[in-house]
């Protein structure tokens, strides 16, 4: 096959697994709905996310014209956070607060669709063309470049956002005692709730992509699935039992090093040898501090500072927003330990790359990001 065919820019269809010639192609919005492939087809996810917006706008503008009243839109919980609660300061205008509730699941569900659209749109229509422009043509590398390009944008944005949210909380820069003092922290500032639920939607969306195998699995597929399951577990439990402050701290410790990792990977794909080695060393320092030092600080806090919470909160009383019977300490501790174990596995791989950098001066990832490209090229030829 000619180089022109081989270097053809990636499109939505190029993200699909190769289909036998005798098998008819099944495409279209309804097919994507039935097969959940709207998660990786931005045209389908865009149509899905438009439906609640159109219904909400119709309700806001047409229902008053028809009925003369202004009933609340039943579609608003999909688009906006729900469950406002009285502010502890008494100033609901300048210091609004929100609690958790079942309508939060509607918000998360909708933004799974939004993240699907954003992720695939950025990957396919921005990152893939950039990869081709910068001389990357192997399908596997183009896809990985797209993934890391999107990752850099996402993790960079939410990493900065997480720091901003933390700056508004008493836990600023890992003041871990504030995780427990004055628990339960169930009256969330709006930005914390939006941040938390959007992150939850992102991780559920990522887990769906992996679990349904909608994209080609990479070498550490099993570890990634385990990581995503533990992350969703942490998100659900921390939100459900009003530990969003420690949740924000965990998020931030994970997101910032991921942004540095994505940047280092992009330089690797672009074959900027000196720059990728320098960026890798910076990434190693950032990863060590955030993913290990700060995570261990938080583990120590769960173990040693758990009892700083008020005695009245050490009971199982969901109606009062408190859940912290003695064994809940270990329910919080266990997923953080599992997360640290997974981080140590990846740290081992990172240290192998460091060894390569020192011995041969090349910070290539030990995982194969373009495995299968050679076989694909042979088939095309």
Report pLDDT digits (tens) over 130-163. Answer: 999 999 999 989 999 999 999 999 999 999 999 9
- 3-class SS of residue 188: strand
User: Which is nearest to 180 in space by CA: 332, 336, 318?
Assistant: 332
Lowest pLDDT segment from 3-12, 193-202, 224-233: 3-12
Q: What's the whole-number mean pLDDT along residues 48-58?
A: 97
Mean pLDDT of 45-70: 94
Q: Residues 195-224: what's their mean pLDDT?
A: 87
* Per-residue confidence band for 68, with pLDDT thresholds at 50, 70 and 90: confident
pLDDT, average across residues 25-30: 73
**Cα separation of 30 and 11, whole Å?**
20
Q: Are 70 and 183 in contact (CB under 8 A)?
A: no
Q: Which tokens is 54 given?
A: 């159109």
Note the Cα 381 to chain centre separation in Å: 38
CB 283 within 8 A of CB 267: no
Other CB atoms within a 10 A radius of the CB of residue 311 amount to 7
In a domain, 223, yes or no: yes
Tokens of residue 283, six digits = 């990434």
Q: What is the pLDDT of residue 380?
A: 41
Distances (CA, A) of 86 to 71, 91, 321: 22, 8, 15
Q: What is the average per-residue pLDDT within 166-183?
A: 96
Which pLDDT score, from 0 to 100, does residue 79 have?
A: 97
Q: Is residue 287 part of a domain?
A: yes
Which tops the pLDDT comparison, 109 or 237? 109
CA-based nearest residue to 257, from 288, 226, 222: 288
Lowest mean pLDDT among 3-12, 25-34, 167-176, 179-188: 3-12
Q: Which residues contact 60 (CB under 8 A, 6 or more apart)?
A: 73
The DSSP code sequence of 74-119 is TTHHHHS---EE--TTS-TTTS-EE---THHHHHHHHHHHHHHHHH
Distances (CA, A) of 276 to 137, 138, 167, 257, 300: 20, 20, 32, 15, 34
Confidence category of residue 4, pLDDT binned at 50, 70, 90: very low
- From the number of C-beta atoms within 10 Å of its C-beta (0-12, 13-18, 19+), residue 274 rates as exposed
Name the percent of the chain lying above pLDDT 90: 66
DSSP secondary structure code for residue 123 in this structure: I
- Going by pLDDT thresholds of 50, 70 and 90, the confidence category of residue 361 is low
**What per-residue confidence (pLDDT) applies to 356?**
82
**12 belongs to a structural domain:** no
| Residue with the larger pLDDT of the pair 362 and 115 | 115
Residues 83-93, mean pLDDT to the nearest whole number: 90
- Specify the pLDDT at position 102: 95
Arithmetic mean of pLDDT over the chain: 87
Over 70: is that where the pLDDT of 222 sits? yes
DSSP 191-258: HHHHHHHHHHHHHHHHHHHHHTT-S---TTHHHHHHHHHHHHHHHHHHHHTT-HHHHHHHHHHHHHHH
Q: Is the pLDDT of residue 268 over 70?
A: yes
Does residue 80 register a pLDDT over 90? Answer: yes
**pLDDT for residue 293:** 98
What's residue 209's pLDDT?
87
Lowest-confidence segment of 10-24, 61-75, 247-261, 339-353 by average pLDDT? 10-24
Is residue 39 helix, strand or coil? helix
Determine the longest span between alpha carbons in the chain, in angstroms: 76
What's the CA gap between 185 and 168, in Å, rounded? 14
User: Is 272 a domain residue?
Assistant: yes
Contact between 177 and 308 under an 8 Å Cβ cutoff? The reply is yes
Instruction: Report the pLDDT value the prediction gives residue 135, as an integer from 0 to 100.
Output: 93
Domain membership of residue 364 as a residue range: 108-374
Which of 245, 362, 259, 352 has the alpha carbon at shortest distance from 308?
Answer: 245
Q: What pLDDT is recorded for position 28?
A: 84
**Higher-scoring residue by pLDDT: 304, 377:** 304
| Helices 221-240, 190-211: crossing angle, 10 deg rounding | 150
- Whether 22 is in a domain gets the answer no
- Overall number of domains in the chain: 1
Q: Kindly indicate the confidence band of residue 320, based on its pLDDT and cuts at 50, 70 and 90.
A: confident
Average pLDDT over residues 359-364: 69
Record the pTM.
Answer: 0.86
């Amino acid at each position: 096959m000619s180089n022109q065919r081989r270097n053809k820019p990636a499109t939505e269809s190029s993200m699909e697994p190769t289909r036998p010639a005798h098998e008819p192609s099944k495409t279209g919005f309804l097919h994507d709905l039935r097969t959940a492939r709207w998660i990786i087809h931005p045209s389908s996810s865009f149509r899905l996310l438009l439906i609640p917006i159109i219904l909400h706008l119709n309700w806001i503008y047409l229902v008053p014209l028809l009925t003369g009243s202004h009933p609340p839109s039943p579609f608003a919980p999909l688009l906006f956070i729900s469950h406002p609660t009285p502010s502890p300061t008494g100033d609901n205008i300048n210091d609004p607060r929100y609690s958790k509730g079942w309508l939060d699941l509607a918000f998360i569900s909708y933004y799974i669709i939004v993240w699907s659209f954003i992720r695939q749109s950025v990957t396919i229509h921005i990152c893939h063309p950039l990869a081709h422009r910068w001389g990357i043509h192997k399908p596997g590398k183009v896809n990985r470049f797209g993934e890391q390009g999107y990752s850099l944008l996402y993790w960079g944005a939410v990493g900065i956002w997480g720091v901003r949210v933390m700056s508004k909380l008493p836990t600023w820069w890992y003041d871990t005692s504030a995780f427990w003092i004055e628990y339960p922290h169930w009256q969330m500032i709006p930005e914390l709730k939006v941040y938390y639920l959007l992150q939850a939607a992102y991780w559920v969306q990522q887990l769906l992509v992996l679990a349904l195998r909608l994209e080609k699995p990479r070498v550490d597929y099993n570890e990634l699935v385990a990581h995503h399951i533990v992350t969703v577990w942490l998100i659900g439990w921390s939100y459900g039992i009003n530990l969003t402050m420690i949740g924000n701290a965990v998020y931030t410790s994970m997101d910032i090093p991921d942004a540095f990792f994505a940047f280092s990977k992009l330089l690797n794909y672009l074959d900027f040898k000196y720059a990728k080695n320098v960026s890798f060393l910076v990434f190693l320092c950032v990863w060590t501090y955030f993913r290990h030092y700060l995570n261990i600080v938080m583990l120590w806090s769960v173990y040693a500072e758990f009892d700083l919470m008020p005695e009245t909160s050490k009971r199982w009383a969901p109606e009062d927003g408190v859940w912290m019977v003695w064994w809940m300490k270990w329910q919080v501790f266990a997923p953080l330990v599992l997360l640290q174990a997974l981080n140590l596995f990846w740290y081992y791989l990172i240290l192998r790359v460091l060894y390569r950098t020192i011995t041969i001066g090349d910070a290539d990832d030990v995982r194969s990001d373009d495995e299968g490209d050679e076989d694909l090229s042979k088939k095309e030829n």
